[in-house]
Amino acid sequence: MIADPRPAASLILLRRGGKHAHRGVEVLLVRRSPDARFMPSVWVFPGGRVDAADAGDEESAHLACAVRELHEEADIELPADAELLPWSRWITPEPVPVRFDTRFYVALAPPHSPPRPDGRETTDAQWFAPAGALERHRAGELDLVFPTIKHLESLLPYSSSAEVLEAARGRAVEPVMPRVVGEGDERRIVLPGEPGY
């Protein structure tokens, strides 16, 4: 039986340039607890399931969830007027037993907001340049999962946080549901438009 995807939200938080105006794109990743039942010790964007506390219509509840999870997992509080812009929507492939329909948003971090992991859900939190995080993953130093890798890759063309936000304002967001193909060691994940999808 195919599990229904649960509504979820995730926040791609962008670091401000500040005095370092030349600073390229940097995003916040948090490391999940090694005791977590789902994706232990993996580095992810802050996020989680939409729950009853996330009030409002469908979009408002997802936005509230993204803001709440950032505060819970990294102790960063976004101001009430923070701009959260839709970046993507990913649905977990059908064979996976725990599935999510996750809306990813991009937003700018408040000034002077060092991330602090909560020590329960998250054990570490750091700013990463997307290319640097991907390089460390290839070197076996940073444990990343497919959606995080793909979102980091989607940020590579941009040279600043402002460019990412500008791109988000004109971005058409269509749901993406990867597909698992092949058997055993040959299993791989493919995206819409790729061979074998």
Summarised one tens digit per residue, pLDDT across range 121-172 is: 999 999 999 999 999 999 999 999 999 999 999 999 999 999 999 999 999 9
Q: Burial of 26 by CB count in 10 Å (0-12 exposed, 13-18 middle, 19+ buried)?
A: buried
Q: Tell me how many helices (H) and strands (E) the chain has.
A: 4, 10
The string of pLDDT tens digits covering residues 78-116 is: 999 999 999 999 999 888 888 999 999 999 999 988 999
pLDDT at 37: 84
DSSP for 13-45?
EEPP-TT-TT----EEEEEEPTT-SSSTT-EE-
Question: Which tokens belong to 160?
Answer: 């600043």
Q: Counting beta carbons within 10 angstroms of the beta carbon of residue 148, is it exposed (0 to 12), middle (13 to 18) or buried (19 or more)?
A: buried
**Residues 107 and 84 sit within 8 Å (Cβ to Cβ):** yes
pTM of this prediction exceeds 0.75: yes
Beta bridge partners of 12: 106
Statement: residue 21 has pLDDT above 80: no
- Residues contacting 111, CB < 8 A, separation 6+: 16, 18
pLDDT bin (cut points 50, 70, 90) of residue 22 is: low
